[in-house]
């Protein structure tokens, strides 16, 4: 899958996604992440891409033209149904289901805004989806874009190895993960539950299921009503 990110902070995206599993997936060519610097499409000599809002008010607004030109510079590489996702707290809240549906695509474009927002006309012209990562406000869309890319990429076949993908079931079945332990068998007087040392696989499986259910009930009861 190919991810194209339109942003004023290309380094933030590149740096943030050049570690661990996502780095390996890029190196192996399973995914690619291309950043497009919106500022490269500014037409003035100071490379400004923002201006004062019509009607007044605080802050600056990103201009339509550089965003549009940045998008047009990659348009020829995109698949026919390639979505253009604008990261904004006004969008629909991102969740595992959205990650799953995006992971089945050939490519996607992510548009990151800054300042007080982007001129509405270019949003109307190019954006197909508006996505938020939760009810709070970030200084820009980049951290949200990285979140989406990470969550989508790990669902693409080959990105996770067998062991890594084992963790997968977690949110897919709306249950939280059971607690995990490793050596030593006792830490600060706290013992690993006996059943995990018993070697009795049936009992271990049963215990883990109960723990997953109990934890979900305690920490995220809202997930159980979805189930």
Q: Which residues bind ligand 6GU (CB under 6 A)?
A: 87-89, 131-134, 136-138, 140-141, 144
Give the residue with the Cβ less far from ligand 6GU, 117 or 179: 117
Give the residue with the Cβ less far from ligand 6GU, 134 or 193: 134
Q: Is 184 helix (H, G, I), strand (E, B) or coil?
A: coil
From CA 110, how far away is CA 59, in angstroms rounded? 23
From CA 190, how far away is CA 2, in angstroms rounded? 46
In the chain, how many H helices and how many E strands? 11, 9
Min dist CB 96 to ligand 6GU, Å, is: 16
Q: Is 89 helix (H, G, I), strand (E, B) or coil?
A: strand
Min dist CB 199 to ligand 6GU, Å, is: 46
Min dist CB 143 to ligand 6GU, Å, is: 8
Which residue has tokens 């194209």? 4
Give the residue with the Cβ less far from ligand 6GU, 53 or 89: 89
Give the residue with the Cβ less far from ligand 6GU, 149 or 175: 149
Which residue has tokens 């190895």? 161
Min dist CB 151 to ligand 6GU, Å, is: 13
Instruction: Please give the DSSP secondary-structure letter assigned to residue 19.
Output: S
């Amino acid at each position: 899958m190919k991810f194209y990110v339109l942003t004023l902070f290309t380094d933030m995206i590149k740096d943030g996604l050049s570690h661990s599993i996502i780095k390996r997936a890029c190196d192996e060519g399973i995914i690619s992440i291309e950043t497009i610097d919106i500022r490269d499409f500014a037409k003035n000599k100071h490379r400004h891409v923002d201006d004062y809002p019509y009607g007044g008010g605080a802050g600056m607004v990103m201009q339509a033209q550089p965003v549009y030109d940045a998008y047009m510079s990659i348009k020829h590489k995109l698949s026919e149904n390639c979505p253009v996702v604008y990261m904004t707290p006004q969008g629909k809240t991102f969740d595992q289901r959205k990650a799953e549906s995006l992971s089945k695509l050939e490519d996607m474009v992510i548009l990151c805004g800054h300042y007080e927002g982007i001129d509405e006309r270019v949003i109307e012209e190019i954006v197909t989806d508006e996505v938020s990562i939760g009810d709070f406000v970030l200084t820009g869309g980049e951290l949200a874009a990285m979140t989406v890319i990470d969550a989508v990429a790990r669902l693409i076949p080959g990105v996770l190895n067998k062991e890594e993908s084992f963790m997968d079931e977690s949110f897919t079945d709306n249950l939280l993960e059971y607690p995990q332990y490793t050596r030593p068998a006792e830490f600060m007087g706290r013992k690993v539950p006996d059943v995990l040392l018993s070697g009795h696989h049936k009992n271990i499986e049963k215990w883990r299921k109960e723990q997953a259910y109990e934890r979900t009930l305690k920490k995220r009861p809202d997930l159980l009503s979805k189930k």
